[in-house]
Amino acid sequence: MYQFFVDPSQIDIPDRCVIIMGEDVNHIRNVLRMRPGEEISVRDGRDGREYRCGILSLGESEIVCELRFIKEDAVELSAEIYLFQGLPKGDKMEFIIQKAVELGVHQVIPVAASRCVVKLDGKKATAKRARWQGIAEAAAKQSKRAVIPEVTEVSSFARAVGMASGMDVALIPYELAEDMSRTKSLLEGIRPGQRVAVFIGPEGGFAEAEIGLARESGVLPVTLGKRILRTETAGLAVLSWIMYLLEA
């Protein structure tokens, strides 16, 4: 079943009516070629509820649906995971965001670490963020997420560790860290309701000074094993591990 996100104002529960507008109208009409009577899933991206609807009419600018029933879905992870991702080269960030959303991340914070080759500012940064947010929304639709994770503006490393210092758990995989049993213990200790920060470095990893600043802020260096993982692999490995532990 196809899922779409709408603004809460487009859901009228008393009148059992849901209106779909924007780019999804063309997608439903001309790409999916859906017809009146077909059922779709609608969410507002905020309250976690699924609104199961039947299409009533397909106009040029809006699609009118009948609200059939509301389903309380526990599809989100029981802890909020914040991915602080060092800016990678090329289009790797798009892949990382897509897969992180599928795995249940709550928010993605792009980080301008010292070893980042990519430099974003001004209009370029605004355009990139809009592109990344669109990828997050598409991934949320595809994976039937209850919310659309936010991709924030690019943050400095110092600001990022400041944000993470107030969270319940904050981890930074580091190639010189040791003791996998400690990594296992920290990840297995994550509990429902907690806010968890995961830092992933760009190509080349984090600088030693950044690891020092992270330690001072309560962000704990951990190992992910004996092999060096690429930036587009490391975060997904951690998120997969956390998802398994929270949903097992």
Can you say whether the dihedral through the CA atoms of 236, 79, 152, 52 is positive or negative?
A: positive
Superfamily of domain 80-247: SPOUT methyltransferase, trefoil knot domain (3.40.1280.10)
CA distance 90 to 103: 22
Q: Which fold has domain 3-72?
A: Ribosomal Protein L25; Chain P (2.40.240)
Amino acid at 170: A
State the DSSP string of 131-177: HHHHHHHHHHHHTT-SS--EE---EEHHHHHHHHTTSSEEEEE-TT-
Q: pLDDT digit of tens for each residue in the chain (248 aa)?
A: 899 999 999 999 999 999 999 999 999 999 999 999 999 999 987 777 889 999 999 999 999 999 999 987 778 999 999 999 999 998 999 999 999 999 999 999 999 999 998 888 778 889 999 999 999 999 999 998 988 999 999 999 999 999 999 999 999 999 989 999 999 999 999 999 999 999 999 998 999 999 999 999 999 999 999 999 999 999 999 999 999 999 97
pTM, to two decimals: 0.84
State the DSSP string of the chain: --EEE--GGGEETTTTEEEEETHHHHIIIIIS---TT-EEEEE-SSS-EEEEEEEEEE-SSEEEEEEEEEEE---S-SSEEEEEEEPPSTTHHHHHHHHHHHTT-SEEEEEE-TT-S----HHHHHHHHHHHHHHHHHHHHHTT-SS--EE---EEHHHHHHHHTTSSEEEEE-TT---HHHHHHHHHT--TT-EEEEEE--TT---HHHHHHHHHTTPEEE---SSPPPHHHHHHHHHHHHHHHHH-
Where are the chain's structural domains?
A: 3-72, 80-247
pLDDT at 45: 78
